[in-house]
Copies of this chain bind each other. A is one copy, B any other.
Amino acid sequence: MPLLVMKFGGTSVADLARIENAAQKVQREFERGYDVIVIVSAMSGKTNEMVGWVEQTSKLYDAREYDAVVASGENVTAGLMALRLQEMGVPARSWQGWQVPINTTSAHGSARFISIPRDNIDAKFAEGFKVAVVAGFQGVSAEGRITTLGRGGSDTTAVAFAAAFGAERCDIYTDVDGVYTTDPRVSSKARKLDKIAFEEMLELASLGAKVLQTRSVELAMRYKVRLRVLSSFEDTDETSGTLVCDEEEIMESKVVSGVAFSRDEAKMTLVTVEDRPGVASAIFGTLADAGVNVDMIVQNISEKNYGTHTGAVTDMTFSVPTNQVARAQKAMEDAKAAGLLAYDDLITDTDVAKVSVVGIGMRSQVGVAAKTFAALAAENINIKVIATSEIKISVLIDRKYMELAVQALHDAFELDRP
């Protein structure tokens, strides 16, 4: 029997009407002949309510108790969804994490999957319960305690079940109708993609296109789970949404698939750093120890004499998330005070944005970087930092030019054309 995994997020099961709407989508796949594993989130707002209670009750809370409380939201949705499906004549039952069991590490609040044995659910499939409604976001530790996977964990649960059960596809129903070439709010020319490669989706997800959780895409890529992102609020069929798949499934891919952007980046420059072996390690090791996520890094070596320095000196520029600027500054100042690091000044620019063009076609195509820089130059947009990977070119620019840059790049690579 072919098997499908269908995942519904919090807004897709926010109330009883939406649960019914989601159940209709499950019913349709069941009537097409699929065994279905449905992964559900908590009704939207419920998890936040419970997190609030936990945080008000205990500041430094025991993560095991946090998990025991917070996981209950998904249990409620799973039961209600099973009931709704039964009411429609669909043979469904609910599964809580410990009933499957979804075995995880005991890293409460951010647990990782160890195994998802198929036996229990397969036995119920064999008895005729063709639809298993599984509470997402949760599992059980070897100690028999409830664990959660962290926010967005239901996407990851869905992909893990698709991998464990060899699902034909994993459909992620959400409040958008697919993955776009860029954010439609920034460019009216944004176009929904029919297909996108895992690698591209990963770059888009981590660059701030918040459709799928990065970890779920990584897991899908590793196990080659075909993911489909589609809207739970529209009529959908086999061709709806965007398929996230192995690049081999994408016949003729464009050089660039999308333009991503992020406003949450800040640029920091250490001015006149003594240029000696190990200095980069000293800077970024210090930042890592302070829990700062450094993204782009650029080093400008200069042989000039600067102030009191006489040897080779350099400027070191890097970008960090805006909300980690204060922490990064403190880490650098502490390191300087402790004599671990010598620099003249630390300049922070929070008025920047990162814009990236992403596409697996770049690998075999030259000139993408040149075309990117030309498109920005034509709009008189100054590039502050450049970083590239195999399938991505990112630039840091003044934030006020962000929308202009996205539109210019979208036009330059003709992303509005199918």
Residues of A in contact with B (beta carbons under 8 Å apart) = 16, 19-20, 50, 53-54, 56-59, 61-62, 64-66, 68-69, 72, 75-76, 78-80, 82-84, 86-87, 93-94, 96, 98-99, 144-146
Contacts and interface: CB of A to CB of B under 8 A. Distances in A.
Contact of A144 (B59, B66, B94, B99): B99
A146 B95 CA distance: 10
Contacts of A59: 87
Contact of A65 (B19, B58, B61, B79): B79
A336 to B, nearest CB: 38
Give this chain's copy count: 2
Nearest to A49: B76
A65 B53 contact: no
B76 A96 contact: no
A24 to B, nearest CB: 13
Given A16-B57, A57-B16, A76-B72, A65 B50 contact: no
Interface of A is mostly: helix
A82 B65 contact: yes
Given A16-B53, A75-B68, A83 B96 contact: no
A144 to B, nearest CB: 6
6 contacts: A19-B57, A59-B87, A65-B79, A68-B96, A69-B75, A69-B83
B62 A86 contact: yes
A109 to B, nearest CB: 13
Given A16-B56, A59-B87, 16 more contacts: A16-B53, A16-B57, A19-B57, A53-B76, A54-B79, A57-B83, A58-B84, A62-B83, A64-B93, A65-B82, A65-B83, A65-B86, A68-B79, A69-B75, A75-B75, A99-B145
